[in-house]
């Protein structure tokens, strides 16, 4: 039972840990157009610190941890960290989100060491467009990574597609075709505003628009999901794969939010769009006890807002960029 309950009665059971702010792609919607200052190695939590914080969270009722970034596979010896985290008592699911550029050789190793659920980000099935979007010619390595992930048989395999008007909305049906014969869930994510990421309201392709487009060609049936799920899920007639929509902008799911975040430099962030953070790293390095860390985590949660503001207001917030927070 989680003792991480915020002021609005929401129980928190899911922690997203960013293990690095570095990424080998330059997706324009994730990294600010004026760049970021990369953290120095000593600014990041080391593996013992990450494991300690994860243990404290698990003792408070966190039963699922997702590793993210930046690109988590850019963190040296990531598999060692996974092996340190997976036996933590109370932790039922260790998951990861990756751009899959470095996955081909590592998919099995990740699974063997404890990653159960894997999400892969891919916003275009076209090599030239992928390069435009990410600034790198890595399309084939991502496709190879997806193939390796299928072969490794993770408990769940999902593809994240950020859908942006005028960029990749013409590929929506291609993605649905792509998962016809594979037990993969493709998730269309509404474009979210972060610092200097070229966000505009009219670039958001909404859930309603996506659903209409897909339902025009495929027969969709809603799938029941857990109350805290962020996605609206659908089975597709004749498909092994399923399709989902993350409606962060058009229909936010704050009332059932069960997530809390830890940035690579050791700050607890209670909400993706709420700028204030509580830094655990410096207090840990100054000798804080576990009880003090628990107090800081609970304080962060007590500040968590009931809901995030409307999209246009979020865009004006002095929040960190997605690549710095960990999506």
CA–CA distance, 276 with 273 (Å, rounded to integer): 9
Question: For ligand SAM, which is the closer residue by CB, 208 or 285?
Answer: 208
Q: Binding residues for ligand SAM, per CB under 6 A?
A: 23, 29-30, 68-69, 71, 97-99, 121, 160, 162, 189, 191-192, 194, 197, 322-323, 327
Residue 199 near residue 192 (C-beta atoms within 8 A) = yes
Check: CB of residue 96 under 8 Å from CB of residue 68: yes
> Rounded to 10 degrees, what is the CA torsion of 268, 287, 61, 1?
-130
CB of 78 to ligand SAM, least distance (A): 12
Q: How far is the CB of 309 from ligand SAM (least distance, A)?
A: 16
CB nearer to ligand SAM: give 44 or 60.
Answer: 44
Nearest to ligand SAM of 102, 293 (CB atom): 102
- In the complex with ligand SAM, the residue whose CB is nearer, 31 or 236, is 31
Taking the least distance from each CB to ligand SAM, the nearer of 159 and 284 is 159
Nearer to ligand SAM, 247 or 258 (CB): 247
CB 246, min distance to ligand SAM, A: 8
Measured N-to-C along each axis, helices 127-134 and 139-152 cross at an angle, to the nearest 10 degrees, of 100
Interatomic CA distance for residues 101 and 108, integer angstroms: 15
Please report which residue ranges of the chain form alpha helices under DSSP H: 47-59, 78-85, 107-113, 127-134, 139-152, 172-178, 207-215, 281-285, 290-302, 311-315, 322-325
Pair of tokens at residue 105:
């050789």
Query: Taking the complex as a whole, how short is the minimal distance between the CB of residue 322 and ligand SAM, in angstroms?
Result: 4
User: Shortest gap between Cβ of 283 and ligand SAM (angstroms)?
Assistant: 26
Select 113 or 319, whichever has its Cβ closest to ligand SAM. Answer: 319
Query: Smallest distance, Å, CB 203 to ligand SAM?
Result: 10
Task: State which residue has the least CB distance to ligand SAM.
Answer: 327
Q: Which of 208, 172, 164, 213 is nearest to 190 (CA)?
A: 164
d(CA 281, CA 50): 10
d(CA 53, CA 240): 38
Q: How far is the CB of 56 from ligand SAM (least distance, A)?
A: 24
């Amino acid at each position: 039972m989680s003792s991480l309950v915020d002021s609005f009665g929401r129980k928190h059971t899911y922690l997203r840990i960013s293990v690095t702010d570095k990424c080998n792609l330059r997706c324009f919607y994730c990294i600010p157009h004026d760049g970021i200052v990369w953290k120095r190695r000593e600014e990041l939590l080391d593996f013992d610190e990450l494991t300690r914080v994860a243990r404290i969270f698990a003792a408070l009722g966190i039963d699922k941890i997702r590793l993210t970034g930046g690109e988590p596979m850019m963190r040296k010896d990531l598999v060692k960290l996974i092996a340190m985290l997976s036996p933590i008592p109370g932790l039922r699911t260790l998951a990861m989100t990756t751009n899959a550029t470095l996955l081909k050789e590592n998919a099995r190793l990740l699974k063997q060491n404890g990653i159960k659920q894997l999400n892969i980000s891919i916003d275009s099935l076209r090599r030239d467009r992928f390069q435009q979007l990410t600034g790198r010619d890595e399309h084939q390595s991502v496709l190879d990574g997806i193939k390796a992930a299928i072969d490794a048989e993770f408990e769940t395999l999902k593809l994240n597609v950020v859908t942006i008007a005028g960029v990749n909305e013409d590929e929506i049906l291609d993605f649905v075709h792509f998962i016809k014969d594979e037990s993969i869930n493709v998730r269309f994510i509404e474009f979210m505003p972060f610092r200097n990421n070229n966000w505009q309201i009219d670039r958001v392709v909404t859930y309603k628009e996506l659903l209409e487009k897909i339902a025009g060609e495929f027969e969709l049936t809603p799938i029941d999901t857990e109350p805290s799920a962020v996605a609206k899920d659908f089975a597709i007639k004749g498909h092994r794969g399923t399709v989902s929509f993350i409606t962060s902008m058009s229909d936010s799911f704050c009332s059932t939010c069960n997530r809390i975040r830890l940035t690579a430099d050791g700050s607890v962030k209670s909400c993706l769009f709420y700028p204030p953070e509580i830094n655990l790293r410096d207090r840990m390095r100054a000798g804080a006890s576990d009880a003090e860390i628990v107090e800081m985590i609970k304080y962060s949660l007590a500040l968590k807002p009931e809901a995030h503001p409307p999209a246009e207001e979020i865009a004006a917030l002095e929040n960190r960029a997605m690549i710095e927070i960990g999506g």
